A and B are shown apart, each in its own frame.
Chain A
């Protein structure tokens, strides 16, 4: 167990609905990343925080996606007006500023019907 937790583990939603996922990092890890993984592919980077500052966003992160890390601890990823193409596993990873490796949570599997 890496210590990164994600909630919920599974989410089924209808197209057009909004969903929000939560990630709780390993304590003292001040860097937090969101990735998306679709079947048969490796994870793709979405966005990244250092403490509460969002430092980088991928072009994959459309206007319907927003991520926050308000107090530099847990983070939320919200998808508005979900589309079937949003169906994927959403992974959260965290790392310490002095560490190169990222530690991943179990992921939230989103299914949009």
Chain B
């Protein structure tokens, strides 16, 4: 079965420091991996995705993520955190088995990121 784990419910970091939000996944086929951010009373906003190619992918607002196949991880990173990055972050995986058109996303439970001034 497909699943995503975000082992930290909360991550706290000082402004200007690097941040990492962790994500591990489990799929039987090839994974397509995504990060989304959710601000209060708003829908999820797409940040970045890994489909194939370079293991380090860059996305919106200075975020990047590193795909590690051996560790089945896709951690979200940013070199210098901003107070405005404080939000709820979700990792998601889409399994792409051969011959399938399944498009559903499986989400983790989310990690609340707080960046303090």
Indicate if the CB atoms of B44 and A91 lie closer than 8 Å.
yes
Q: List 25 A-B contacts (CB under 8 A).
A: A2-B46, A40-B109, A41-B109, A41-B110, A42-B92, A42-B109, A42-B110, A45-B104, A48-B103, A50-B101, A56-B102, A56-B103, A58-B104, A91-B43, A91-B44, A95-B103, A100-B32, A101-B34, A101-B46, A101-B49, A103-B46, A104-B36, A104-B44, A104-B46, A106-B42
Indicate if the CB atoms of B107 and A102 lie closer than 8 Å.
no
Q: Enumerate A62-113 residues with CB–CB distance to B below 8 Å.
A: 91, 93, 95, 100-107
A4 CB-CB contact with B under 8 Å: yes
A44 CB-CB contact with B under 8 Å: yes
Indicate if the CB atoms of B101 and A55 lie closer than 8 Å.
yes
Indicate if the CB atoms of B104 and A42 lie closer than 8 Å.
no
A43 CB-CB contact with B under 8 Å: yes
Total A-B residue contacts, Cβ distance less than 8 Å: 62
Cα separation A33 to B105 with both chains bound (whole Å) = 10
Question: How many B residues, CB 8 Å from partner?
Answer: 25
A22 CB-CB contact with B under 8 Å: no
Give the chain A neighbours of B105 by CB distance below 8 A: 33, 35, 43, 45, 102
What 1/0 mask marks residues of chain B from 27 to 67 whose CB sits below 8 Å from any chain A CB?
00000101010000111111001010000000000000000
Cα separation A74 to B6 with both chains bound (whole Å) = 33
Question: How many A residues, CB 8 Å from partner?
Answer: 27
Cα separation A82 to B49 with both chains bound (whole Å) = 36
Cα separation A50 to B104 with both chains bound (whole Å) = 12
Indicate if the CB atoms of A33 and B107 lie closer than 8 Å.
no
Known: A42-B90, A100-B32, A100-B94. A4 touches B43 (CB 8 A): yes
Known: A100-B49, A100-B94. A48 touches B43 (CB 8 A): no
Q: How far is the CB of A75 from chain B (nearest CB, A)?
A: 15
Partner of B108, one of A42, A45, A56: A42
Partner of B103, one of A31, A42, A91, A103: A31
